[in-house]
Amino acid sequence: MALLLMGAQTTGSMEEGYHMVVESLYIDEAKELFEFCQWVDKEVGGCSKYNIQKLWQAFKHPNDADLMIFVKDLKAKIAMFKAL
CB environment 17-33: b (16+ within 10 A), e (fewer)? bbebbbeeeeeeeeeeb
pTM: 0.92
Average pLDDT over residues 47-75: 97
Closest by CA position to 1, among listed 41, 29, 39: 29
Average pLDDT over residues 68-77: 97
Average pLDDT over residues 1-7: 93
Domain boundaries, the chain: 2-82
Cα 12–Cα 49–Cα 17 angle in degrees, nearest 5:
30
52: DSSP letter: H
